[in-house]
Amino acid sequence: MNKTQLMVNKIKAGTALWQDFKVILNLDSKDLEVLFKLSQEITEKNFGNILKIYNPTNRFPAISITGNECALECEHCNKKYLKGMKQISKNKDLEQFLIELSRKDGVGALISGGSEIDGSVPLLKFLDTIKKVKKETNLIINTHTGLLNEETAMKLADAGVDIISFDINMDEQVIREIYHLDIELSEYKRAIDLLKKYELHIVPHICIGLYYGKLNKELESIRFIKETEINPSLIVVIVLIPPKDSKVKFETPKPENIAKIIAILRFAFPKTEISLGCMRPRGKIKNEIEKFAIKAGITRIEIPSKDTLKWLKNNNKKIQFKYFSACCAIPKKFEKLAESKKVDIKRYINI
């Protein structure tokens, strides 16, 4: 029996260990199909033959509460993602914007922003406003908190924030060289413990390829999620987009490598949804990444291409699509609220 079949048997028997998952990282392309077959079987058994499709549209905008400012200027971002967000840095404006959003049939908002030097997003001073908005509207609030202190965790819970989108990274080189952060890995554990203490809904995000586009410590990040007992209902996978303006060279992460990480997630968390999130390379490679991610066992995807959905329909006649106008991290209980209107999905009609 070859080593791939041996591993498949171990996964099926529930006896695979972390060192077995490590073997997946070095498998050749020809051995991957066997793994994908298993990951699709597990996905279909636990989630049915459904792919959930998310598109935030203007019903779920992303807001930066620091404008264009960020103290870290990470290599992969260097503030460019902040520029694509609605910039609101005053409480009064945030309240007005969110109340207006709710009146105009908004579903929710992602509240994000640049980081402080300690890796936190300065949300604290906005949490009274968010609490007020949560009381007065049905908006779903998703936040990027970064590494946070106890007061912020307590007030996030008190404000009724629905989702904490939290980037997990267990790679010291990435922390220092890419994030420019001077912290210990244990800070992640401290932050997760605080989020758990205040019973916040954590949606871990793993960014594949942050180490100059190569796989490095993604497996350790997956293991961290398991060992800290977050027990997430969903894990979001995002993918490095190689920065053009960095002094250091970044590769584009290989679609096969992305799929290997997703397959490991599927095997390590068989009952957890997996989403291919919004940050990922576009252009020619986009469709390939999406197809590999579907083969490896995602259940959710943010703005897939039409070609990918056509390909999926051709290969899987019974697949059903469900459309939502929201961030891909929304919990299942909000799905009714976030359902897309016809006008939001017209690009996918006739697939």
Q: Collapse the DSSP code of 320 into the 3-class scheme (helix H, G, I; strand E, B; otherwise coil) and give the result.
A: strand
Q: Does 327 bind ligand SF4 (CB under 6 A)?
A: yes
Ramachandran region, residue 338 (left: φ > 0; alpha: ψ -120 to 50; beta: rest): alpha
- Closest to ligand SF4 by CB, 98 vs 329, is 329
Q: Does 302 bind ligand SF4 (CB under 6 A)?
A: yes
| Alpha-carbon gap, residue 289 to 325, rounded angstroms | 22
Q: Which stretch, 239-247, 283-291, 305-313, 324-332, contacts ligand SF4 (CB under 6 A)? A: 324-332
Query: What's the min distance (Å) between Cβ of 112 and ligand SF4?
Result: 7
What is the DSSP code string of 134-182? HHH---EEEEE-BS--HHHHHHHHHHT--EEEEE----HHIIIIIS---
Tokens of 90: 């005053």
Binding to ligand SF4 (CB under 6 A) within 184-213 occurs at 205
Amino acid identity at 206: I
Q: What angle do CA 20, 328, 342 make, to 5 degrees?
A: 135
Binding to ligand SF4 (CB under 6 A) within 140-169 occurs at 165
Q: Does 221 bind ligand SF4 (CB under 6 A)?
A: no
The single residue among 207, 329, 338, 345 that binds ligand SF4, judged by CB under 6 A, is: 329
Query: What track of x and - describes contact with ligand SF4 for positions 13 through 52 (by CB under 6 A)?
Result: ----------------------------------------
| Binding residues with ligand SF4: total (CB under 6 A) | 11
Amino acid identity at 37: K
CB atoms under 10 Å from CB of 96, counted, come to 13
The single residue among 278, 293, 301, 338 that binds ligand SF4, judged by CB under 6 A, is: 278
- Closest to ligand SF4 by CB, 21 vs 166, is 166
Query: What's the min distance (Å) between Cβ of 279 and ligand SF4?
Result: 6
Query: What's the min distance (Å) between Cβ of 255 and ligand SF4?
Result: 18
Residue 178 backbone phi and psi in degrees, to 5: -100, -45
- Closest to ligand SF4 by CB, 181 vs 326, is 326
Which residue number has the CB closest to ligand SF4? 277
- Closest to ligand SF4 by CB, 72 vs 278, is 278
How many residues appear in the chain?
Answer: 351
Q: Which stretch, 7-15, 172-180, 314-322, 327-335, contacts ligand SF4 (CB under 6 A)? A: 327-335
Q: What angle do CA 317, 319, 324 make, to 5 degrees?
A: 145
The single residue among 7, 16, 51, 110 that binds ligand SF4, judged by CB under 6 A, is: 110
Q: Which of 129, 204, 136, 145 is nearest to 169 (CA)?
A: 204
- Closest to ligand SF4 by CB, 7 vs 309, is 309
What is the DSSP code string of 37-73? HHHHHHHHHHH-SEEEEE--GGGS-EEETTTT--SS-
Tokens of 198: 């205040």
Binding footprint of ligand SF4 on the chain (CB under 6 A): 110, 165, 205, 236, 238, 277-278, 302, 327-329
